[in-house]
Structures are given as structure tokens and as C-alpha cells.
């Protein structure tokens, strides 16, 4: 694939850095691009937005996948085929006790309840983040005022079945699920982290994840607009500082 453009993200090898920040919301790409210099924006294809720029002396690609493990895996796999070898997913998550809204959560590992991981690792159930990324994120987070935690994530496909009850019919199911996970010391729930860690490792890459807690599903609480903007700035600042410290795989 190095001799031509990737099928879905539309990038060629020379347009992609070795270090990549994976984003869900494509709206974050232009906002986070402001932290980079000499930015090259690739044409958006199927809603997948990708840019590459410089953070100091470090070349970094930002690439947005939207929502869910299947498309996150496609984007990661295509970027890996183009030469990227360090992947850090940053975004938002549902925090579980003792995490509060606005806190940062760095994944040490992730339990897989989504279907994508099994395509890359037979019997996938638990995936680990790259230790050098976890260490770099922890060091970078220590330099910020935000509260952060390091621990386990759990990732699901069914947002309204397993993560957030939209109606009374699923209220007990979601509550029982989240309380069970909290009892297993899971700190955050999202839709992609376990797949990103699994796919990255299977392709010989370094992969990690860090999210801001923006929703308390059990209390039906959501982060405010100003707090959300502050959390985004903290996420990208920590991520960029951490990636500077991590050597390519």
C-alpha cells in the first residue's frame, strides 16, 4: 500500500508521520491542528479527516475515525500500512467511580466487549497498552493541573444497550453492567480503546489511549461546554508532549 494511497483515508506514505493521534470527532482535527506548525491537510474522504504537522521537532499525524471499533481499526490499519507505528487514541469516555467528570484516564489495559478485536487476536478479551506510552502519558499528565487516573478501560459496540440507557427498558441492564465493571476496577468505558490496543499490537505497533471523563451514565450527568473545551485542550497538550518522548516501533 506504500506505493499508492490508502483506500479510505486517502493518504500516501509520505503524508503520514510515524506518530499518530487517533481522534473520534472529526471536528477536533481543525481545533487540534492549531497546536501544530506546517500543517498539511489531506482531503476528507467518507468523513475521515487527516492532517500532518510539526510539534516542535516531532512530526505528528492527527486522524479522525468517527465512532466505533470497526472504523477505528480500518484507520489504524491503513496508517500502519503507510508506515505509522505509534498510535495514541484521545477522546471522551464514560467515567466510573472514583473518576469524576473532567478527569483524565490513561489506559493501562482494556477489556474487550466489542467485535473487532477478535478479528485480530483469537479469543481477545483483554489488551494492554504499550508501556512506554503509558509512562510517557503519566509523565506528561503530571505536568498539568488536571486530575488523572491510570487503569483499565472497557469497550463496547452497543452504546445504548451497554453504556448509556436511553429508555427505561435498558436502565437495569446498563446499571448492572457499569456497576459490575466498577467492581472490577474499570475506570472508563468507551467504544474503541480495546480494539485500538489489540489491532495496534497485532500489527507490531505501539498503541495507547487517554480519555477525558465527560459523562456519568448512572447519574445522567454530562460535562459542561466550557469544561469540555478545557478537557480537550488538556488532552491534546498531554498527548503531544507524551508522543515526543516515545520512539517509533
Mean pLDDT of 203-226: 95
pLDDT band with cut points at 50, 70 and 90 for residue 146: confident
In a 13 Å sphere around the CA of 155, the CA atoms on its Cβ side amount to: 31
pLDDT at residue 2 in the model: 46
CA–CA distance, 24 with 47 (Å, rounded to integer): 11
248 pLDDT above the threshold of 80 = yes
Pick the closest to residue 187 from 113, 126, 104 (CA basis).
104
Torsion of CA 115, 17, 136, 216, to 10 degrees: -40
Mention every residue, 6+ apart, whose C-beta is less than 8 A from residue 191: 67, 68, 69, 114, 155, 156, 157, 159, 163
Mean pLDDT of 158-165: 96
Pick the closest to residue 55 from 98, 88, 92, 79 (CA basis).
88
Pick the closest to residue 69 from 105, 102, 111 (CA basis).
111
CA–CA distance, 144 with 205 (Å, rounded to integer): 27
pLDDT band with cut points at 50, 70 and 90 for residue 145: confident
Residue 174: C-alpha distances to residues 110, 111, 165, 245 (Å): 19, 16, 6, 38
Which three cell numbers mark 58? 516531532
pLDDT tens sequence across 42-74: 999 999 999 999 999 999 999 999 999 999 999
pLDDT at residue 155 in the model: 98
pLDDT band with cut points at 50, 70 and 90 for residue 3: low
pLDDT band with cut points at 50, 70 and 90 for residue 1: very low
Mean pLDDT of 165-186: 95
Least confident of 1-15, 105-119, 158-172, 203-217: 1-15
Least confident of 100-109, 215-224, 238-247: 215-224
Mean pLDDT of 170-196: 97
Mean pLDDT of 96-103: 96
Confirm if 116 and 70 have CB atoms less than 8 A apart.
yes
pLDDT at residue 123 in the model: 66
Mean pLDDT of 27-41: 97
pLDDT at residue 152 in the model: 98
Q: How many residues does the chain have?
A: 249
pTM: 0.96
CA–CA distance, 232 with 211 (Å, rounded to integer): 9
Q: Is the peptide bond before 98 cis (omega within 30 degrees of 0)?
A: yes
> Taking the domains of the chain in order of start, what are their residue ranges?
13-244
CATH fold of the domain at 13-244: Rossmann fold (3.40.50)
Mean per-residue pLDDT of the chain: 95
CA–CA distance, 186 with 57 (Å, rounded to integer): 36
Amino acid at each position: 500500500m506504500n506505493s499508492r494511497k490508502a483506500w479510505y483515508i486517502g493518504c500516501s506514505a509520505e503524508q503520514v508521520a510515524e506518530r499518530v493521534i487517533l481522534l473520534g470527532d472529526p471536528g477536533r482535527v481543525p481545533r487540534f491542528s492549531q497546536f501544530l506548525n506546517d500543517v498539511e491537510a489531506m482531503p476528507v474522504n467518507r468523513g475521515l479527516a487527516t492532517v500532518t504537522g510539526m510539534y516542535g521537532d516531532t512530526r505528528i499525524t492527527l486522524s479522525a475515525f468517527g465512532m466505533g471499533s470497526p472504523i477505528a481499526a480500518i484507520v489504524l490499519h491503513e496508517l500502519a500500512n503507510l508506515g505509522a507505528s505509534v498510535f495514541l487514541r484521545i477522546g471522551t469516555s464514560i467515567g466510573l467511580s472514583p473518576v469524576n467528570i473532567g478527569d483524565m484516564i490513561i489506559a493501562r489495559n482494556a477489556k474487550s466487549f466489542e467485535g473487532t478485536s477478535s478479528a485480530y487476536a483469537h479469543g481477545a478479551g483483554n489488551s494492554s497498552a504499550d508501556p512506554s506510552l503509558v509512562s510517557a502519558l503519566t509523565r506528561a499528565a503530571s505536568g498539568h493541573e488536571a486530575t488523572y487516573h491510570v487503569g483499565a478501560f472497557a469497550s463496547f459496540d452497543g452504546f445504548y444497550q451497554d453504556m448509556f440507557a436511553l429508555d427505561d427498558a435498558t436502565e437495569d441492564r446498563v446499571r448492572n453492567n457499569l456497576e459490575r465493571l466498577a467492581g472490577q476496577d474499570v475506570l472508563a468505558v468507551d467504544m474503541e480503546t480495546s480494539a485500538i490496543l489489540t489491532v495496534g499490537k497485532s500489527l507490531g505497533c505501539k498503541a495507547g489511549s487517554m480519555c477525558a471523563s465527560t459523562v456519568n451514565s448512572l447519574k445522567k450527568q454530562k460535562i459542561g461546554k466550557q469544561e469540555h473545551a478545557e478537557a480537550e485542550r488538556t488532552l491534546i497538550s498531554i498527548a503531544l508532549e507524551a508522543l515526543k518522548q516515545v520512539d517509533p516501533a
